[in-house]
Amino acid sequence: MAKTKEDPKKVLNTEFNHYLFNTGEHIRSYEFMGAHVIEFEGRKGVQFTVWAPNAQSVFIAGDFNDWGYGEMFPQGTTGIWTGFVEGIGEDAIYKYRIRRHDGFEFLKADPYAFYSELRPKTASVVKDLNGFKWEDATWRAKNKRKNLDANPMNIYEVHLGSWKRHWDGRFFTFSQYIDELIPYVKEMGYTHIELLPVMEHPLDDSWGYQITGYYSVTSRYGEPKELMQFINECHKQDIGVILDWVPAHFCRDSHGLYLFDGTPTYEYQDPNKASNNRWGTTHFDYGKPQVHSFIISNALFWMDMFHADGLRVDAVSAMLYLDYDDGPWTPNIYGGNTNLEGVALLKKLNTTVKKEYPAALMIAEESTAFPLITHDVESGGLAFTHKWNMGWMNDILRYFELDPIYRKNHHNLITFSFMYVFNENFILPMSHDEVVHGKKSLLNKMPGDEQMKFQGLRTLMTYMMCHPGKKVNFMGNEIAQWMEWRFREGLEWIGLKYEMHQKHQYFMKELNSLYRNHKALYEIDDSYDGIDILDADNKNESLFTFIRKGKQPRDFLVVICNFTPVQRDHVKVGVPFEGQYEELLNTELKEFGGAWEYSEKTFNTTEEQVNGKDFSLEVIAPPLSVLIIKPKRIKGAK
């Protein structure tokens, strides 16, 4: 078992484990809950342990006893039931037969199962997760030492079921993605892969966000150890792996957590707090100690057993607000709308993860202005490492969807983020949610003809890369997919037969490389020390100029954004040092799909005060473009 050297027989059946679980302090409850292959008093078999505090009786039912009544025994007054079945092992199929307080019986999947049958079947499957030979010690040691905030983080967000599909519609497996996805991500220059939930879920349409098996690797893509192998290979290729995770709510399918023992077990008893009407799901009871043990153990489970580098925590807002959902709500003890129990659980979760895995990423998908999401608990914060900047994403997409003739009237959509950009430790997302449900693909959001759409997309991607904050880009954005994301089929790889899509993919590869190779774009993402805004007020020409800075004086880049399809000549920008500068990137070059045949290779400063600087450069800003200029030979900078 992870981080345990004791004999399994002793580990699985101790009063101390039961005490910790029921007080909310067991941070690895998966080590004794669920189904474990053990040897007990000389007999080999599987021990089953489940929490069903209000059940009259609990039995083990499976393919090994004709789905009958395998005996389980209550462990005092703990609400925990345990049973042992001799002669079975891995791949045994089972459920718990629960007899409710009124005698009614029903079958439930194991909340702690490590594997499940392929949908539409719903039974749990016994799996032994021990014995995998990890080869990522170098990766893990390196991550412990480095400051993640001062390093590049460019995340490729992936839904495994629709990155690629076989010609007959079958899913690729984890093993096949080792050969297909990892080399692609490596070649494109991303630092991390973020996987939409790989926990077991009954409905493909939920993309994994409505979970039934929190400890169960979804059987759609293969076995648990195949996912281990996938993550192991990512680490060997210097690629981190982040897993999407949903501790806010679970689906109401009858075999899942909902009314697990016939009463509200994992969920609130108050229906106003339990029901999520918008999503048709049910909220965990964040104040229940056993739920604390379940959720915190689950977070550590994916790091212990699968070496995940972090979790992107979905729907955090639903944990923070009692009135976040549609419909009636129950105020807290002070009459307010903050879910005090949700706040307490998130603080406890992030504190525990930080203690156990100091380098782990805990990323909040949180869409409101709730304060101090990424600040430490001692300062009143929730202690996430990062927060998705949903406000920036919404503003920037609204701006880019406008016909450029109107952009001068909405210039604040570009500049407003700099009023709050360092209030939290932000990640900038261009996520799956923005390219589905009729919202169009990123390419198709851009106004104008085909040429202009590609111009706009290159400009958007480059501005995102230059803006402070780490990055997330959903699969398909990098090949400029025309159609919005369709989760039932693979991406439009066929588009790469066409020149413009080939050039855009090449552009994204070059942009990713530029980001990773220039400290100015990532080294200071959390303070105004990392940016010097030159001109944020030129709304009439829709120009925006700024400097991104690293920790050393010489590490800086000048960024000139032209958000209209009109070439701007004689654009003057201030620079901090006298000397010669050179073009690093012009998004309008022909090699990227633009119209410019050439680059302006070098620029010499003029001793003229512009933008509050003593020296200036004069450049041509191509239409709908971003120009990035770096120092070449300058005076005064060490």
CATH at residue 616: 2.60.40.1180
CATH number at residue 18: 2.60.40.10
Q: Which residues are catalytic?
A: 314, 365
Is the CB of residue 46 less than 8 Å from the CB of residue 85? yes
User: Range of 107's domain?
Assistant: 8-125
Strand partners, 43: 40
Q: Which of 471, 496, 517 is the last residue of a domain?
A: 517
Same domain, residue pair 168 and 225: yes
Mean pLDDT across 429-437: 95
| Predicted pLDDT at 638 | 67
Q: Is 247 exposed, middle or buried (0-12, 13-18, 19+ CB in 10 A)?
A: buried
139 within a domain of the structure (yes/no): no
In this prediction the pTM is 0.95
Q: How many CB atoms lie within 10 A of CB 525?
A: 25
Residues 6 or more apart from 186 whose CB is under 8 A from it?
237, 238, 239
Positive or negative torsion for Cα 98, 100, 103, 108: negative
Indicate whether 565 pLDDT > 50. yes
Q: List strand residue ranges (DSSP E) for 87-221, in order.
A: 93-99, 105-108, 124-125, 154-158, 192-195, 199-200, 213-217
CATH number at residue 305: 3.20.20.80
Same domain, residue pair 241 and 374: yes
Tens digit of pLDDT for each residue in 452-471? 999 999 999 999 999 999 99
Same domain, residue pair 542 and 499: no
When divided into structural domains, the chain yields a total of 3
Same domain, residue pair 464 and 587: no
Looking at every residue in the chain, the average pLDDT score rounds to 95
| Predicted pLDDT at 1 | 38
Altogether, the residues listed in the chain come to a count of 638
Q: Which of 462, 488, 517 is the last residue of a domain?
A: 517
Tens digit of pLDDT for each residue in 205-252? 999 999 999 999 999 999 999 999 999 999 999 999 999 999 999 999
Same domain, residue pair 411 and 293: yes
329 within a domain of the structure (yes/no): no
377 within a domain of the structure (yes/no): yes
Q: Which of 482, 517, 552 is the last residue of a domain?
A: 517
Same domain, residue pair 382 and 507: yes
566 within a domain of the structure (yes/no): yes
Single-letter amino acid, residue 374: T
Same domain, residue pair 534 and 499: no
